[in-house]
């Protein structure tokens, strides 16, 4: 057996959004604000994506929503909807990916996840998809840890919690910066572009 194979991955760590499930906040916003100009103004005025990152980094939604609604009272209803209906931003499973997860699980490959996700939003989503996530032996959620990918600390914390050495893990994410972050701490990593491309990588690694 080659040295490379001995040091190859034996477990898979997935991102969640746009790897296992689609995340489509733009469509959700379009239902709230159908006019493009009004929608773009809202996004820019409140720095929506930057604000949402603070939720993923561990800030409680109630606190963050109260602050921004006070600053932008005309947008308070949209901010409230972001919290109350966040589940609507998460779309169907990414095509082919649940089958990949089921096959890996069937082969006894240990499955884990690291996701940038608000703690407040994660709990109801995980409960909604409980049957699927039962296949996973551990999930590290940025909002619970107060650490965001690609901070090296979240990868190290996940590896410790999962009981893995870095070289034992294949990390799968749709964002290049997060893939590079995983590689920087010694993990194998795959930039996700679709289920079939990932399937080829998993077969090459002997995991499928």
Q: Which tens digits make up the pLDDT trace of 142-179?
A: 999 999 999 999 999 999 999 999 999 999 999 999 99
Distance CA 69, CA 79 (A): 7
* pLDDT class of 6 with cuts at 50, 70, 90: very low
Average pLDDT over residues 108-123: 98
* pLDDT class of 22 with cuts at 50, 70, 90: very high
Distance CA 20, CA 15 (A): 7
Model-level pTM? 0.94
CA nearest to 30, candidates 74, 88, 83: 88
Q: How far apart are the first and last CA of the chain?
A: 18
Residues 61-100 have pLDDT tens digits of 999 999 999 999 999 999 999 999 999 999 999 999 999 9
Which superfamily does 3-20+94-204 belong to?
HAD superfamily/HAD-like (3.40.50.1000)
Cβ atoms within 10 A of the Cβ of 27, count?
11
- Where exactly are the structural domains of the chain? 3-20+94-204, 25-89
Q: Which residues, in sequence order, are CB contacts of 82 under 8 Å at separation 6+? A: 52, 65
Find the length of the chain. 208
């Amino acid at each position: 057996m080659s040295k490379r194979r001995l040091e190859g991955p034996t477990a898979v760590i997935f991102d969640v959004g746009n790897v296992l499930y689609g995340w489509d906040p733009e469509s959700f916003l379009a239902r709230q604000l159908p006019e493009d100009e009004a929608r773009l103004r809202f996004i820019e005025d409140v720095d929506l994506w930057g604000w949402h990152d603070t939720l993923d980094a561990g800030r409680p939604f109630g606190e963050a929503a109260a602050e921004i609604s006070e600053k932008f009272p005309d947008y308070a209803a949209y901010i409230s909807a972001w919290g109350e209906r966040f589940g609507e931003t998460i779309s169907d499973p990414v095509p082919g990916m649940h089958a990949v997860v089921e096959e890996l699980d069937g082969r006894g490959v240990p499955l884990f996840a690291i996701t940038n996700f608000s703690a407040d939003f994660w709990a109801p989503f995980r409960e909604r998809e409980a049957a699927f996530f039962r296949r996973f032996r551990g999930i590290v959620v940025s909002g619970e840890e107060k650490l965001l990918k690609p901070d090296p600390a979240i990868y190290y914390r996940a590896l410790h919690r999962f009981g893995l050495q870095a070289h034992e893990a294949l990390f799968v994410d749709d964002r290049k910066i997060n893939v590079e972050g995983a590689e920087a701490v010694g993990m194998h990593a795959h930039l996700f572009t679709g289920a079939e491309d990932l399937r080829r990588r998993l077969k090459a690694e002997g995991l499928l």
